[in-house]
Amino acid sequence: MEIKNIKVDVRLIAATNRNLEAMIQHGTFREDLFYRLNGTRIIISPLRKRPDDIEPIANHIWKKLNGRNRLSKAFIKGLQKQTWPGNVRELKATLNSIMDFFGTGDAKPHYLTVLQKQKLEDVKLLSEYEKDEKTDFLKAESQRRMIEIQILINQIRIECTNHSEPEQQSAAYPD
């Protein structure tokens, strides 16, 4: 087997929302890696600060998902009212959900309201689930403590039976 050297020209694009300089100062990011990656910086504001960008981005995503339809102005206005903490990924997930729930036709503005209500229902269900989980944990913890207490009581009984007769009589067994 012959080993050949192949010349390559590589461009690496990396993205983060972290302050790498601060991470270097705190020792949580390698300085040498920072300088290898730190070439041209492109700083892009969050989507919520760029509402005019939502239309072309959403139409591009919708076309990739749908293949034909553009989004209506009314629907775009609904999208522009959102805060998009998940930025473009959240926008894509929302459009994907609309496609899954409502099909490949025109996206109606009220679909966003339906999705928001669904998210609230999901949060409520999750909250109920977490509450049930917490209750189950507390019940299990209480049972564990009761078992520990029972073990201690049994150990005390054993210790008491190992002592002399007068001491045995003074040890009262709870019912």
* 17-35: pLDDT as tens digits: 889 999 999 999 999 999 9
> What pLDDT shows up at residue 130?
59
How confident is the prediction for the chain on average, in pLDDT? 80
pLDDT in tens, 52-88: 999 999 999 999 888 777 888 988 999 999 888 889 9
Q: What is the mean pLDDT of residues 119-147?
A: 66
Kindly report the pTM of this predicted structure: 0.53
Q: How far apart are CA 109 and CA 91, in angstroms?
A: 14
Cα-based distances in Å from 39 to 27, 149, 160, 162: 21, 64, 77, 79
Q: Is 84 left (phi over 0), alpha (psi -120 to 50) or beta?
A: left
